[in-house]
């Protein structure tokens, strides 16, 4: 048998401290680090907006509109979630009460678009017409509050007009419903 010389296999990968040295592309690494910082900043902004209520249920989502003569005040969530219960509150002062009764007009979008489920207290009478519903409530003493329990069925923009009786100046509350 012929004797063959054995050659050692040479490793072409450079080693540092007896470990494999991995190549690096510092320009690419810096670009990647910048991209990561941008993504983290984006996530932080989304989390802060969410905690603030930009996507519903927070301080940024709460709103209030008041009539010019301050006889009617509406407190609502300007950003709501579809299928999630919420409350729209209406407060009427003495200027909105006549003959021991208060009449409250709400546009159709409150019932159909925002899914009004219940009215507290229950009105003595309800009249349909003029693009909405007029509720009449017996009043013992002002101020008087009415709560509408809502559960929006779908997403969209819903402007709601509310007035303290026929012919009274209406206030408009715009509610955004997100999925």
pLDDT, tens only, 34-76: 999 999 999 999 999 988 888 878 888 888 998 888 888 999 9
Residues 38, 120: Cα–Cα separation, whole Å: 48
User: What is the structure's pLDDT at 8?
Assistant: 65
Nearest-CA neighbor of 96 among 176, 164, 38, 50?
Answer: 164
Residues 152, 171: Cα–Cα separation, whole Å: 20
In the block, tokens 């303290």 appear at 164
Residues 38, 46: Cα–Cα separation, whole Å: 12
Residues 167, 151: Cα–Cα separation, whole Å: 29
pLDDT, tens only, 106-163: 988 888 888 888 998 888 888 888 888 888 888 877 788 899 999 999 889 999 999 8
Nearest-CA neighbor of 166 among 90, 123, 102, 94?
Answer: 102
Domain ranges of the chain: 15-52, 59-178
The class of domain 59-178 in CATH terms is: mainly beta
The reported pTM is 0.73
Residues 104, 144: Cα–Cα separation, whole Å: 11
């Amino acid at each position: 048998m012929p004797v063959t010389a054995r050659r050692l296999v040479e490793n072409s990968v450079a080693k540092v401290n007896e470990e494999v040295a991995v190549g690096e592309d510092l320009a690419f690494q810096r670009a990647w680090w910048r991209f990561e910082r941008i993504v983290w900043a984006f996530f932080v902004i989304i989390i802060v907006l969410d905690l603030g209520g930009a996507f519903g249920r927070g301080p940024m989502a709460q709103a209030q509109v008041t009539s010019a003569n301050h006889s009617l005040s509406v407190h609502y969530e300007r950003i709501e979630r579809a299928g999630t219960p919420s409350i729209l509150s209406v407060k009427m002062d003495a200027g909105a009460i006549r003959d021991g009764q208060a009449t409250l007009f709400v546009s159709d979008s409150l019932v159909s678009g925002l899914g009004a489920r219940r009215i507290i207290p229950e009105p003595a009478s309800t009249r349909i017409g003029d693009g909405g519903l007029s509720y009449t409530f017996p009043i013992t003493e002002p101020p008087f509050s009415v709560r509408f329990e809502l559960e929006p069925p779908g997403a969209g923009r819903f402007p709601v007009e509310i007035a303290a009786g026929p012919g009274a100046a209406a206030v408009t509350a715009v509610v955004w419903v997100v999925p």
